[in-house]
């Protein structure tokens, strides 16, 4: 989902280590299972809104290993989308402190496009429309840019058609989507499916999915989740931002993080989500609000 990093306009297991942060100290919990290689390591990340200087991220720490699925939840305005966008290099934000290493590279040394080529993908909460550009041309261009960066031969239109058809089928998407302009006139659910189609086409290593469940009907949610699950492997990482358990019932996270006021203040497993569903954020003991 290097959507941002991925395209030029915006630009596509087992729990191991989790930090449980209380009001005054951080406790590290380690699982005995074998750990995959670290894909993304974010340390003490701080970022502000470039235009206003308002600090939004206030020391985010997050480690995602190959094969892991992480979910980030949190109240509205806690900074979840900002974190997603900062990771792909959105120009609205400026990193003021901290580090992020993605597949061994300093993420903040890379341009958004380079992050995409390196395998990072963000699905937008509100996918943008690109009038005048057909979906198939856009997808092929993005796909070939990534292939080129990996030293692979570019796909011609016919080859791309053969490549993309099974992916459309997987998502239960009508092939006529290919000939329509990117997201133009798409329903909310169609836009979300199109995001996942981009993820599938780009074969990204790290998928950041920002509220892919919003606006989806029950069938579309199942299709999208099925597609994401089919794209997961021991070499990919997933970071999902969501407000609801229903998505996590389909795409099971290894870790669930709670974000509050620009920080990850609690990390656990699905039981955290059950607590949230039962009693809201007030039931979790987090840092003082
Ligand atoms: N480009 C921006 N300009 C102005 N304010 C911004 C911008 N980006 C983020 N913010 C502010 O930063 C805070 C965090 O926003 P963000 O979208 O990251 O929250 P969120 O946790 O994703 O919220 P939600 O759950 O509602 O999607 C909010 O107060 C938001 O208004």
Residue 98 in domain? yes
**242 CA → ligand 1 middle, Å:** 14
DSSP string, 89-155: T-TTEEEEEEEEEETTEEGGGS-HHHHHHTTEEEE-SSPPPEEEEEHHHHHHHHHHHHHHHTTPPPP
Residue 205 in domain? yes
Confidence tier at 124 by pLDDT (50, 70, 90): confident
Decide whether any atom of ligand 1 lies within 6 Å of the 49 Cβ: yes
Residue 14 in domain? no
**121 CA → ligand 1 middle, Å:** 20
Decide whether any atom of ligand 1 lies within 6 Å of the 94 Cβ: no
**The pLDDT value given to residue 286:** 62
**79 CA → ligand 1 middle, Å:** 6
**48 CA → ligand 1 middle, Å:** 11
**The pLDDT value given to residue 285:** 67
Decide whether any atom of ligand 1 lies within 6 Å of the 271 Cβ: no
> Can you tell me the mean pLDDT for 43-57?
98
Output the CA torsion 134→139→141→146 (10° steps): 170
Q: How many domains does the chain have?
A: 1
- The candidate with the shortest Cα–Cα distance to 167, out of 197, 144, 192, 139, is 197
> Can you tell me the mean pLDDT for 92-117?
96
The answer, yes or no, to whether residue 235 has pLDDT greater than 60, is yes
Residue 86 in domain? yes
Residue 16 in domain? no
Q: Looking at ligand 1, which residue's alpha carbon is closest to its atom 7?
A: 49
Measured between alpha carbons, how far is 70 from 240 in angstroms, rounded to an integer? 6
Range from 87-96, 114-123, 168-177 carrying the lowest mean pLDDT:
168-177
**The pLDDT value given to residue 6:** 39
More confident of the two residues 129 and 18: 129
Residue 21 in domain? no
Decide whether any atom of ligand 1 lies within 6 Å of the 77 Cβ: yes
> Can you tell me the mean pLDDT for 235-254?
94
Residue 48 belongs to domain spanning: 37-283
Measured between alpha carbons, how far is 141 from 64 in angstroms, rounded to an integer? 29
- By most ligand atoms within 8 Å of CB, the mutation choice from 45, 81, 88 for ligand 1 is 81
Residue 51 in domain? yes
The answer, yes or no, to whether residue 10 has pLDDT greater than 60, is no
The answer, yes or no, to whether residue 191 has pLDDT greater than 50, is yes
Decide whether any atom of ligand 1 lies within 6 Å of the 79 Cβ: yes
- By most ligand atoms within 8 Å of CB, the mutation choice from 77, 88, 92, 276 for ligand 1 is 77
Residue 254: which CATH number?
3.40.50.300
DSSP string, 155-209: PPHHHHHHHHHHHHHHTT--GGGGGSEETTT--HHHHHHHHHHHHHHHT-SEEEE
**The pLDDT value given to residue 279:** 87
**The pLDDT value given to residue 172:** 82
Range from 123-127, 135-139, 167-171, 256-260 carrying the lowest mean pLDDT:
123-127
Q: Is 67 left (phi over 0), alpha (psi -120 to 50) or beta?
A: left
Q: What is the pLDDT of residues 204-222, one digit of tens each?
A: 999 999 999 988 899 889 9
Closest ligand 1 atom to 83 CA: 18
Query: Which ipTM value was assigned to this complex?
Result: 0.98
Residue 24 in domain? no
The answer, yes or no, to whether residue 187 has pLDDT greater than 80, is yes
Residue 263: in which H helix or E strand, if any? strand 263-268
Q: Chain-wide mean pLDDT for the chain?
A: 85
The answer, yes or no, to whether residue 203 has pLDDT greater than 50, is yes
């Amino acid at each position: 989902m290097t959507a941002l990093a991925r395209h030029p306009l915006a630009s596509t297991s087992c729990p191991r280590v989790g930090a449980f942060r209380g009001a005054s100290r951080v406790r590290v919990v380690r699982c005995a299972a074998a750990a995959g290689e670290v894909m993304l390591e974010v340390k003490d990340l701080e970022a502000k809104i470039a235009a206003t200087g308002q600090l939004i991220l206030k020391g985010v720490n997050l480690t995602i290993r190959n094969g892991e699925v992480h979910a980030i939840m949190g109240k509205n305005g806690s900074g979840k989308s900002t974190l997603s966008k900062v990771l792909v290099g959105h120009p609205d934000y400026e990193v003021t402190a901290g580090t992020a290493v993605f597949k061994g590279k300093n993420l903040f040394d890379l341009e958004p496009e380079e992050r995409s080529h390196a395998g990072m993908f963000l699905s937008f909460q509100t996918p943008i429309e690109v009038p005048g550009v057909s979906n198939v041309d856009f997808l092929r261009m993005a796909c070939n840019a990534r292939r080129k960066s990996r030293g692979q031969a570019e796909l011609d239109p016919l080859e791309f058609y053969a490549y993309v058809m099974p992916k459309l089928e997987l998502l239960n998407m009508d092939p006529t989507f290919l000939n329509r302009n990117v997201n133009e006139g798409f329903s909310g659910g169609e836009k979300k499916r199109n995001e996942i189609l981009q993820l599938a086409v780009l074969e990204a290593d790290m998928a950041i999915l920002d509220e892919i469940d919003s606006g989806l009907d029950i069938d579309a949610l199942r299709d999208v989740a099925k597609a994401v699950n089919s794209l997961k492997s021991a070499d990919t990482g997933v970071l999902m931002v969501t407000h609801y358990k229903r998505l996590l019932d389909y795409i099971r996270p290894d870790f669930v993080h709670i974000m509050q006021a620009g920080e990850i203040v609690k990390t656990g497993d699905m039981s955290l989500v059950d607590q949230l569903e039962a009693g809201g954020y007030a039931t979790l003991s987090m840092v003082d609000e």
